Amino acid sequence: MAGATTLSDLASALGVRSQESAVIAELKAGSEEAYVWLIGEFHQPIYSLVYRIVNDASDAADTTQEVFLKVFRGIKHFHGQSSLKTWIYRIALHEAANRRRWWFRHKAQETSIEPAEAESSELSLGDRLVDRGESPFDNFAHAEVHAAVEKALHQVPEPFQSALILRDLEEMSYEEIAEVLQISLGTVKSRITRGRQALRKILAGYVREVGDEMGLLAPKEQREARPDRIAHRSRGGREAEVTP
């Protein structure tokens, strides 16, 4: 049975690679349909990724456009050393990092007189995670918690922040992250561990302050078993732990 499962997984992987090779060939040939597919498949994920890094809707839109321009211009030089997805994500991370550095050098010095615009609900981790059947208080509490987590994430230093975003928000495998960042699996795991430790440290004060009322504390029996563990479930069902 295990052998059959392995063969099935292998056949599935081979099928995916074969389909991707066909798409890449179409892109290199200048197929308009292939480019439409590429935009439909990757635009929203890439925009979301970039937004999490630059934290500005307008900058994220401009940077996403630049990412796809680079993809279109560079596809002829793509030789399949990694998957198409990880190649595009690598470009996106590079462009987002460049945009953020530019922002800190220039735009951060400006003071806007325009009122702050509401952030897109598509990009709000809190909005995505809120159960629409919950009470207004629960809805508010979850949104506030998720906003606090997103704010704290922006304080996690690189290169740990990128690894954490790719793993815990984009839900990439360790192997995919290694391809995107062009580092070893061991380095990926180390960066994720250190990123989570940094995030816990940043959030510790917030959790101590509002943990009980916002539902960040584990149930009584869990606290008795592990009093240092405070858990909050994220989008993919993972639990983010904060140790005060």
* Token pair for 121: 């609900």
Q: Do 238 and 142 fall into the same domain? A: yes
Same-domain status, 77 and 152: no
The domain in which residue 168 lies consists of 138-244
Residues 6+ apart with CB under 8 A from 153: 52, 161, 164, 165, 199
Residue that has been written with the tokens 């198409």 in this structure: 84
| Whether this model's pTM surpasses 0.85 | no
User: What is the per-residue pLDDT across 7-20, written as a single tens digit (0 to 9) for each?
Assistant: 444 344 445 566 78
Q: How far is CA 216 from CA 79, 149, 152, 219, 243, in A?
A: 47, 12, 15, 9, 11
Q: What distances in angstroms separate CA 217 from CA 208, 220, 224, 228, one per listed residue?
A: 9, 9, 11, 10
State whether 155 and 104 are in the same domain: no
H-assigned helices in 55-184: 57-74, 84-105, 125-129, 136-153, 160-164, 174-181
Each residue's pLDDT tens digit, 105-130 = 655 555 444 444 434 434 444 444 34
Whether residue 68 is found in the same domain as residue 143: no
If asked whether residues 151 and 244 sit together in one domain, one would say: yes
Domain boundary among the residues 89, 108, 127 is at: 108
If one counts the domains in the chain, the total is 2
Please, what is the average pLDDT of the chain? 74
Q: Give domain status of residue 120, yes or no.
A: no
Provide the CATH number for the domain around residue 57: 1.10.1740.10
- Among the residue ranges 38-52, 53-67, 116-130, 183-197, the one predicted with the least confidence is 116-130
Using only the alpha carbons of the chain, give its radius of gyration.
Answer: 20
